[in-house]
Amino acid sequence: MGILEIKGVSKRFGGLKALDDVNISIAENSVHAIIGPNGAGKSTLLNVLVGKLVPDAGSVTFENQSLLGRKPYEINQLGVARVFQTPEIFGDLSVFENMLVPLFAHRDGTFRMHAYETIAAERDIVAAAEAMLDEVNMLEKRDMHAASLSRGDKRRLEMAMCLSQEPKLLLLDEPTAGMARADTNNTIDLLKQIRDKRDITMAIIEHDMHVVFSLAERVTVMAQGTPLVEDAPERIKGNPKVQEAYLGGHG
């Protein structure tokens, strides 16, 4: 039984079958990559997992709790964090404040009216934020305007924000999309470091095979809304079905 169980999930948009009977099980503390050509349904699947879309059929359970019908913020509170293709951070806040928001959310839940308290009085949270920034080597940038960070720094900040909540499952949506080779390698190193240091499950949706093969322990290949093959990365490479999915003109 995996930490995340996707069973028989289907989703239609008008006449288009975006997801067709998807079954995927993601084992605890593993790195699981979901790959596939454009239009394979990866993004739709991710949106179902985070509560942005409700599937027509099937079930999604996380630690034996159904995720269907829950709002994105409720799913996050269960211990699922998400990293976006383009880093989603609080651009008008400082880097330090960007770290504080998830820490408050982790401690206080979806809403708390702490309108009269001061931030400085929250010593534990301030210390945790500083420690986390230190871990991703961004402590010296704590007072910078987050919108003015470089793309790579934004990615690291977003990662740090997610990790500060100590999620059990981290969903990554093409974390290296549009990055230069050097930045991609830095991100891979960062992810490896995270994987080795923490008890965390990662599900990566990725285009870049280099990223997939350097990180993943299991790989699911999707095509036309349905999983084609699931296997260890080294065996995926030679699989004729996978080659057909990528080269066979579906994309």
Partner 1 sequence: MLGLSRKDTSFLLIVIFLTLATPLLLQPFPEDSALAQFNAGYPDLMQRFAIFGIFAIGFNILFGLTGYLSFGHAAFLGVGSYSAVWMFKLLTMNVIPALILAVIVSGLFALLIGYVSLRRSGIYFSILTLAFAQMMFALAYSVLTPITGGETGLQLSLNDPRILGVSQTPEGNIPVPHLFGLEMRDSVQWAVGGWEFTFNAGYYFCAVIAILVFYLSMRIFRSPFGMMLRAVKTNQTRMNYTGLNPRPYTLAAFVISGMYAGLAGGLMAAMDPLAGAERMQWTASGEVVLMTILGGAGTLMGPVLGAGFIKYFENIFSKINDNVLHAWFAFLPDGLEDVVVAIIHPFVGKGWHLTLGILFMLVVIFLPGGLVEGYRRLTRAFRRTPRPDPRRDPEHHPGPVPHVGE
Judged by the rule CB under 8 A, the positions of this chain that interact with partner 1 are 50, 71-73, 76-77, 81-82, 84, 88-94, 97, 100-102, 104-106, 109-122, 143-145, 148-149, 161, 165
- Smallest gap from Cβ 145 to partner 1, in A, equals 5
* Angle at alpha carbon of residue 156, lines to 150 and 158, rounded to 5°: 100
- Smallest gap from Cβ 16 to partner 1, in A, equals 25
Backbone φ and ψ for 205, nearest 5 degrees, come out as -100, 125
- Smallest gap from Cβ 223 to partner 1, in A, equals 28
Of residues 116 and 249, the one with the C-beta less far from partner 1: 116
Query: Can you tell me the distance from the alpha carbon of 88 to that of 92, in angstroms, rounded to the nearest whole number?
Result: 12
Of residues 22 and 50, the one with the C-beta less far from partner 1: 50
What one-character-per-residue DSSP string does 221-251 give?
EEETTEEEEEE-HHHHHT-HHHHHHHHSS--
Of residues 42 and 154, the one with the C-beta less far from partner 1: 154
Query: Can you tell me the distance from the alpha carbon of 89 to that of 84, in angstroms, rounded to the nearest whole number?
Result: 10
Of residues 106 and 156, the one with the C-beta less far from partner 1: 106
Q: Count Cα neighbours of 222 within 13 Å in the Cβ-side half-sphere.
A: 27
Of residues 1 and 115, the one with the C-beta less far from partner 1: 115
- Smallest gap from Cβ 104 to partner 1, in A, equals 5
Task: Provide the edge-to-edge strand list for the sheet that holds 16-26.
Answer: 16-26, 4-13, 57-62, 65-66
Of residues 27 and 144, the one with the C-beta less far from partner 1: 144
- Smallest gap from Cβ 129 to partner 1, in A, equals 12
- Smallest gap from Cβ 149 to partner 1, in A, equals 8
Inter-residue contact 203 to 172 (CB < 8 Å): yes
- Smallest gap from Cβ 158 to partner 1, in A, equals 8
Q: Is 150 exposed, middle or buried (0-12, 13-18, 19+ CB in 10 A)?
A: exposed
Backbone φ and ψ for 160, nearest 5 degrees, come out as -65, -40
Give the dihedral of Cα atoms 151, 155, 156, 160; nearest 10 deg. 150
Query: Can you tell me the distance from the alpha carbon of 180 to that of 153, in angstroms, rounded to the nearest whole number?
Result: 13
Of residues 129 and 221, the one with the C-beta less far from partner 1: 129
